[in-house]
A and B are shown apart, each in its own frame.
Chain A
Amino acid sequence: MAGRLEGKVAFITGAARGQGRSHAVRLAQEGADIIAVDICKQIESVAYPMATPADLAETVSEVEALDRRIIAREADVRDVAGLRAAFEAGVAELGPVDIVLANAGIAPMSVQEVGDAWQDVIDVNLTGVFNTVEIAIPSMIERGKGGAIVLTSSTAGINGIGGPTRGGLGYTASKHGLVGLMRSYANNLAPHSIRVNTVHPTGVNTPMVVNDIMQQFLQQDPSLSQSMANALPVGMVEPVDISNAILWLVSDEGRYVTGVTLPVDAGFTIKK
Chain B
Amino acid sequence: MGRVAGKVAFITGAARGQGRSHAIRLASEGADIIAVDICQDYDTVGYALATEADLAETVKAVEELDRRIVASKADVRDAGALKAAVDDGVAQLGRLDIVCANAGICTVQGWDQVTPAVWQDTLDTNLTGVWNTMVACVPHLIATGGGSIICTSSVAGIKGLPYLAPYVAAKHGVVGIARTMANELAAHSIRVNTVHPTGVQTPMAEGLGGLNPLIESDPNLGPIFMNTLPVEMVEARDISNAVLFLASDEARYVTGLEFTVDAGATIR
Contact = CB atoms under 8 A, between A and B. Distances in A.
Interface stretch (A74-82, A108-116, A124-132, A264-272): A264-272
B68 interface: no
B267 A270 contact: no
Contact of B189 (A232, A244, A245): A232
A260 B229 contact: no
A220 B230 CA distance: 51
Interface in A158-172: none
A29 B189 CA distance: 28
Contacts of A256: 198, 229, 231, 234, 238, 261-263
Interface in B70-108: none
Nearest to B242: A257
A179 to B, nearest CB: 11
B186 A187 contact: no
B230 A231 contact: no
A262 B179 CA distance: 15
A269 B268 CA distance: 24
Given A233-B189, A263-B254, A270-B255, A258 B241 contact: no
B257 A262 contact: yes
Given A256-B263, A266-B253, A231 B186 contact: yes
Given A202-B253, A262-B254, A270-B255, A233 B228 contact: no
A239 to B, nearest CB: 12
Interface stretch (B4-12, B112-120, B244-252): B244-252
B259 interface: yes
A230 B182 CA distance: 12
Given A231-B182, A263-B257, A264-B253, A258 B245 contact: no
A193 B264 CA distance: 11
A267 B256 contact: yes
B183 interface: yes
Contact of B186 (A190, A253, A259, A267): A267
A270 B253 CA distance: 12
A259 B242 CA distance: 15
Nearest to A231: B186
Most buried by B among A195, A256, A270: A256
Given A193-B229, A266-B255, A269-B256, A233 B187 contact: yes
Interface residues of A, number: 36
A84 interface: no
A241 B267 contact: no
Choose among B229, B231, B241, B250 the residue with the greatest number of A CB atoms under 10 Å from its CB: B229
Contact of B250 (A245, A259, A266): A245
A231 B255 contact: yes
A259 B267 contact: yes
Contacts of B234: 256
B172 interface: no
Q: How large is the interface on B (under 10, 10 to 19, 20 to 34, 35 or more residues)?
A: 35 or more
Given A193-B230, A233-B189, A245-B250, A183 B267 contact: yes
A186 interface: yes
Nearest to A258: B264
Contacts of B231: 256
Nearest to B190: A232
Given A195-B229, A253-B245, A254-B241, A270 B179 contact: yes
A137 interface: no
A245 B251 contact: yes
A234 interface: yes
Contacts of A183: 267
B20 interface: no
B191 interface: yes
Contacts of B244: 253
B250 A232 contact: no
A255 interface: yes
Most chain B CB within a 10 A radius of its CB, from A202, A234, A254, A260: A260
A50 interface: no
B196 to A, nearest CB: 9
9 contacts: A183-B267, A187-B264, A233-B189, A241-B253, A257-B259, A266-B186, A269-B256, A270-B182, A271-B186
Rank and list the top 3 A-B pairs by shortest CB-CB distance, nearest first: A270-B256, A259-B267, A231-B186
Given A231-B182, A266-B255, 15 more contacts: A191-B230, A230-B186, A231-B256, A248-B245, A254-B242, A257-B259, A257-B261, A258-B229, A259-B266, A260-B260, A262-B254, A265-B253, A266-B186, A270-B256, A271-B186
